[in-house]
Structures are given as C-alpha cells and as structure tokens.
Structure 1
Amino acid sequence: MTTDTVSADAPLYIVLNAGSGAAEKEARKAAIEEVLSAAGRRYHLHLVEDGGELDKAATAHAGQACANGGILVAAGGDGTINTVAREAVRHGCPFGALPQGTFNYFGRTHGIPEDLSEAVHALVDATIVPVQIGSVNGRIFLVNASIGLYPKLLEEREQDKRQYGRSRVVAFLSALKTIFLPHRRLNLTLEAEDRTLHLRTHTLFVGNNRLQMEQVGLTEQAPDVAEGELAAVAPKPAGKLGMLGILFNGVLGRLGDTDDVVAFGFRRMTVRTPFYGRRRIKAAVDGEVLTLTTPLHFEALDGRLRLLVPAQRRESGV
C-alpha cells in the first residue's frame, strides 16, 4: 500500500454540515476549532446551513484546496462525506473525513474515530492512503449503491421523518411499512466479466469491498469477493414475510441465514433492465436517492480517493 506524508503546513478546507440543532452545530464547530488551534494548524471552516448548498460549497473548497496545496475535509454523515469526496476525486486533492452521521459506515471502514475531537486529532496525525471507491454511471460511492426496494424505503423514511420527527423508532416503523406496500420486482440481466445472470429480485445491492459483505453476514456466501472488487448482493423474490425476514437478518448481520441470496464479487458489471418505454430507474447512492439511466455500469475504482487515514489504523496494516 502506497502512502504519502501530509505536510504540517497543508491547510485544511473543512466543509461542515450544520446538522439539525443550533446547539449541536455550535458544539461541533467549537470542537474542530479547539483541536486545530491547539495544534497550530491552518484551516478554513465553512458551515453549510442549507443542505442544498452542499454541492456548491464542496466544489468551491475543493478548488481552493487544490490551488493551495491543501486538504479537503468533510464533516457530517455518509451522504455529506460522499458529496465532498466526489469533489476531492474530481479535483485530485487529498481528502479527510470527520464522520458525524448515525451509522458512519465509511469512517468505521477506515478506522476514523466517531468522536469528533478524536477524529480531528487523528486527522492532524494522518497519512494519505489511496483507497478504493465504486462508481455507477460515473457517480462515485464510498459505501454502497442499490436499486429496487431500498431506494423506495429511503424515500418513505424521509417523508415519515419530516412528519413524525427523526428517531430510530420512526425509521424502523417506516421500513416495516415500506415492506408491506406494493412494489414491483426487478427483472435484471447482470453482465460481470466472465458471468451473465438473469434474475428477478426486489433489490440489487452493490457494496464497496468485502467489508460490506461482512457487515450483513455474507462472507461465507461470497468467498470470491477479493480486494479491488465490489460486492453484488440480490435476494431472490420472496413474499412479505420473507422480505421481513431478509430485513431483520440484514440488520442483525445474518443475511447468510437467508435462503436464495445471489452474491459475488466483480470489478466491472453492467445491469440491464427490460425496456418498456422507460430507461430511467431510481437508485440509492450512499443514502441519496437519484434517477439514473439504464443500463447501469458499475465499476471498482482502485486507489482513486486519496484519503487521510489515522496513524493507528495505518500501523495495524488494515
């Protein structure tokens, strides 16, 4: 694994998603400023109050980081981290993450602390490591991308959260509701290097590297998912109760207990759907629901993201 040393003079261009509450926003801002000021590190902190301005802020600060030999940093959940990382990849500048979401899959994958102060300390003492990302139709993802039931679940969950508030109970009940709503099965043709598969499924999930398989309990089902590959997972059609079982097993990390799950690794894959006058399909990309044009082209992009990895994680060789 190739690493680059981070210059102590490299300025940090931090894009901080304000989050939901004023007190929380100020606490996060203060925590970042306290650690960096104590370390004598140059930084520019941009607080994004409106989520609609995140793309614009990420683009502007990536340009500044690139022009001034700096590092682009995202502070927020997986969606925020994806948006800012996308600009880091496009501009070719190093990228740091301060995970502040509910699940923080990306941060946990790379050993970045969930405590904000600890994450900033780790950022100051980090090394740049090229890491793998995935892409679907040119749109990068750090954690996963999916089509079918999961994008619908995300849309329903956001609507329910706006109506009933943000909590894990609301998210769970929303997921149960979505499972029992009518939804069509996908007829897919998967063309991945040396294999072509025709299948019907409620959802196709593509995870970025083997860790995604381990998190849902599919390691034994897909032993051929190698370093440098993405992981494709598609449960075969099931009834409402069967889908409920799949949901629970996935949450508990025991998806391997579910019968009839297609799972394999690949570097490039094309996903085709029958053409019935429509060629657009909804996809969830790191938690953001997008509309993409079929066929879908997935690809593992090895070493494309120049990520600041904590020293402890680097020394462990993980």
Structure 2
Amino acid sequence: MLDTSARLLRLLSLLQTPRAWPGSELAERLGVSGRTVRNDIDRLRELGYPVDATRGSAGGYRLGAGAAMPPLLLDDEEAVAVTIALRTAARGAVPGTEETSLRALAKLEQVLPSRLRRRVRTLQAYTVAVPADQPAPAVSADVLTTLVAACRDRERLRFDYLDHAGAPTRRIVEPHRAVNWGRRWYLVAWDVEREDWRTFRIDRIRPRTPTGPRFAPREVPGGDFAAYVSGRVSSAAWRHYARVTVHAPATAVIERINPAVGTVEAIDADSCTLVTGADTVRALAVHLGMLDFDFVVTEPPELVTHLRRLAERYNRSTPPPH
C-alpha cells in the first residue's frame, strides 16, 4: 500500500508539469507496467484529479483543470518561492488581496517541512522591505482580474477613465497586457476611437460590462510591452526635454541606457541622436555626463546654460597644468 501511495504521489508530481506524458514514458519513470500506469491514472481521477488523455504522436496524459481546486504538490524550491510571493502579496502589493494571501500563507506554512519552515522564517527575519516614499495607488484586484481576462480572451473593453488632468473620459480599447512598473499598474491597449496605442493607469480605470466583441491581436511598437510602458511613462513625467547629438555609434549608446531614459536614432556609423528628458536640467546634465561620450546640446536653452556653468565650475575645480 505504501508503494502504491508513493507511486501515486510521484505520478501526480509528474503530471503537474505543463506537458503531456506518454504512457510508456510514465511507466519507465515509475518503473511499472503500462497497465499499472492506467490503473493509477484511474485512481487519481477517483480522487478528483482531472487527468486528460489524448491520442497520437503528441498525445499522452496531462493534468487538466477541474471544477474544484485539488491539492498541489510542490518541490522545496517551489514551496519557498510561493511562500515568499504570498508574504509580498499580504503586504498589499495588490490592495484587496491581503486577507486572502494571509489565509493561503497560513495553510501553506502549516504543512511546510521543518527544514523549509526554517528557511522561510530566516528570510523573513533577515530581510527588510523599505517602505515606498509615496503610497502606491490602490488597484482593485477585481478590476485587475477583469482587465487581464479581457487580454486573455481578446475582447474589447469599455471603461470610464480619469485622464492626467483628472477629467473623466470614456474609452473603447483592445486590451493586450497589464504591466507592473514601479509602484503602479498599467494597461497597454489599442484605442479604437483614436486608432493608436495608449497606456492607461489601472487605478484610474472603471470597467463597464459586458465586454465587447473579440479582436485580432496587434504587435506593440518595439515588440516589448515592458519597454513600451517604461518609455511612455517616464517621458510623460519629464518637465524638460533634450535632443542631443552624441559622437558615438548608436549601438554603444543604447548599451548604456534603457528605454526609460530615452530613445536613440543613428545618424551615421559614428554618431547618433539621443532624445531624452528629466524633471530638472540638473538631472539631465548628470545623465549626459554618465554616458562618457562627447556630445553636443543646442536645446533647451536652460540646459545649455547649466552645462556651461558646470564646465566653468569643473574647470575651476582642477589646478592648471604645469
């Protein structure tokens, strides 16, 4: 009986990986016959695990989704990772999920082996989260779930939205991804009426139901949703913009910045244009200096003035050559 129970647990562990297992491979892994594998599959189904079977060269057994959540088997690293994630969620990463995360965390920690419980408690005792300098905008878990479901199902969304100035608008979009950047969540979507890509703060979205018709997915500019959001969000916050000629190949400049800092356009093999910005001209000057390449700035005038002042200051700070 012990051998059978251990074999069922091993079989369940294999089936929980996201792939189809041919019966012959399962039999080899478990060291039993194909008939025993089929009998064990039937036992798992009787216990409530929905095991799907498909025929053909790419077929086999796979654990499917059922009407109820069956027990999961986690290896050591998975159990620790899930525990850490639940602790993070319990701190309010997505407001509205704290209580649920704590309940799940209590259930998981109750069954953790002592060796894993010690690892988790050590992580908890010797790691400190620095509070954000500003509270994160509250994002409803229900709203977030509604948005990502529409992304998954490729269904148009209608929602009320507060723009940057706080004015209410109504949007119809084709949602593609929800992106977490910094302390905020954003929805990347194709705005149907404006016929262009847009980025929306999820804490300002109030979805309207039902959802609309299905749509064909589009390719986001640049092909990277995270880079698209970081570029749009950072540039929207800039108070000062600069267009800088850098005397270095575009590839070399791109290696030293990320999309949140600016965009690079090649002029020729040895020079490029950097379009960047910051909240202050002082910050702009720092970023340009850290490039460690020669550059020419013609605008904005306040940045040119600040760079000249810095050049004079740096020149006075060093003794004249002998």
TM tier, shorter chain? under 0.3
| Greater length-normalized contact order (CA 8 Å, ≥ 6 residues apart) | 1
Superposition TM-score, scaled by structure 1 size = 0.26
**Greater percentage in strand:** 1
TM-score scaled by length of structure 2: 0.26
Structure with greater proportional helix content = 2
